[in-house]
């Protein structure tokens, strides 16, 4: 029993160390900004919102309530459980990937939402360009370096990527 508890403690410590080292800290988007982001993205019923770093699933839940489908990718396993519990009612409309979004297949999506950190934005820009899709990205607080936002409201920046 002591061994089990020790293994659990070591496991949790490793998970937290990994999240602290590689992920953005967890901080939820404010409700007003979450609404603004979805308005700026302007996705239609049944379209798929991809949330990179979905936190506690608040934005995902709002999107689901608005009739969107959601793919939520989250690194922190505890937050994955929270997302799973909070969106249980919409389980057919949401795909939860408990994974690192830099190395995971994003699947099909029609728009992206992020609230990350400044240091991730250039890498994110490159990754979206590589997908060669026409896609809107809404980012709360942090901008894409060297790119002019197509729209900007309540601290949410909208970028329209065009397939080349």
Ligand X SMILES: C[S@@+](CC[C@H](N)C(=O)[O-])C[C@H]1O[C@@H](n2cnc3c(N)ncnc32)[C@H](O)[C@@H]1O
Residue 61 in contact with ligand X, rule: CB under 6 A = no
Running DSSP on this structure, what letter comes out for residue 144? P
From CA 6, how far away is CA 66, in angstroms rounded?
Answer: 44
Q: For residue 142, state whether it binds ligand X (rule: CB under 6 A).
A: no
Shortest Cβ 2–ligand X spacing (Å) = 31
Query: Of 9, 14, 20, 27, which one interacts with ligand X (CB under 6 A)?
Result: 27
24 is an interface residue for ligand X by CB under 6 A: yes
Q: Where are the beta strands (DSSP E) in the chain?
A: 48-52, 69-74, 94-98, 111-114, 135-140, 151-153, 156-161
Which of 40, 41, 55, 109 lies at the binding interface for ligand X (CB under 6 A)? Answer: 55
Q: Is 96 an interacting residue with respect to ligand X (CB under 6 A)? A: no
- Please name every residue paired with 50 in a beta bridge, in sequence order, or none if there are none: 71, 112
Position among 49, 75, 96, 138 found at the interface with ligand X (CB under 6 A): 75
Binding span for ligand X by CB under 6 A among 20-28, 82-90, 121-129, 148-156: 20-28
- Which residue, 9 or 27, has its beta carbon nearer to ligand X? 27
Shortest spacing between CB 56 and ligand X, in angstroms: 6
Tokens representing 93 are 């409309």
The footprint of ligand X on residues 105-124 (CB under 6 A) is 115-116
Structure tokens at 121: 């934005």
- Cα angle vertex 12, ends 30, 17, to 5°? 70
Q: Considering only residues 61, 79, 137, 138, which one is a binding residue for ligand X as defined by CB under 6 A?
A: 79
Residues 52, 74: Cα–Cα separation, whole Å: 7
> How far is the first Cα of the chain from the last one, in angstroms, to the nearest whole number?
58
Tokens of 44: 């239609």
Site for ligand X, rule CB under 6 A: 19, 23-24, 26-29, 51, 53-55, 58-59, 73-76, 79, 100-102, 115-116
């Amino acid at each position: 029993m002591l061994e089990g508890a020790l293994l659990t403690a070591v496991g949790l410590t490793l998970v937290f160390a990994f999240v602290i080292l590689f992920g953005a800290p967890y901080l939820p988007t404010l409700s007003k900004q979450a609404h603004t982001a979805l308005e700026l993205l302007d996705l239609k019923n049944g379209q798929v919102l991809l949330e990179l770093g979905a936190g506690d699933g608040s934005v995902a839940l709002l999107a689901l309530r608005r009739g969107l489908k959601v793919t939520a990718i989250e690194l922190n396993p505890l937050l994955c459980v929270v997302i799973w519990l909070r969106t249980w009612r919409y389980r057919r409309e949401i795909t939860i990937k408990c994974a690192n979004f830099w190395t995971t297949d994003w699947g099909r999506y029609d728009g992206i939402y992020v609230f990350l950190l400044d240091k991730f934005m250039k890498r994110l820009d490159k990754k979206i360009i590589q997908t060669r899709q026409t896609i809107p990205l809404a980012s709360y607080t942090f901008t894409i370096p060297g790119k002019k936002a197509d729209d900007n409201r309540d601290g949410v920046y909208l970028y329209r990527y065009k397939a080349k």
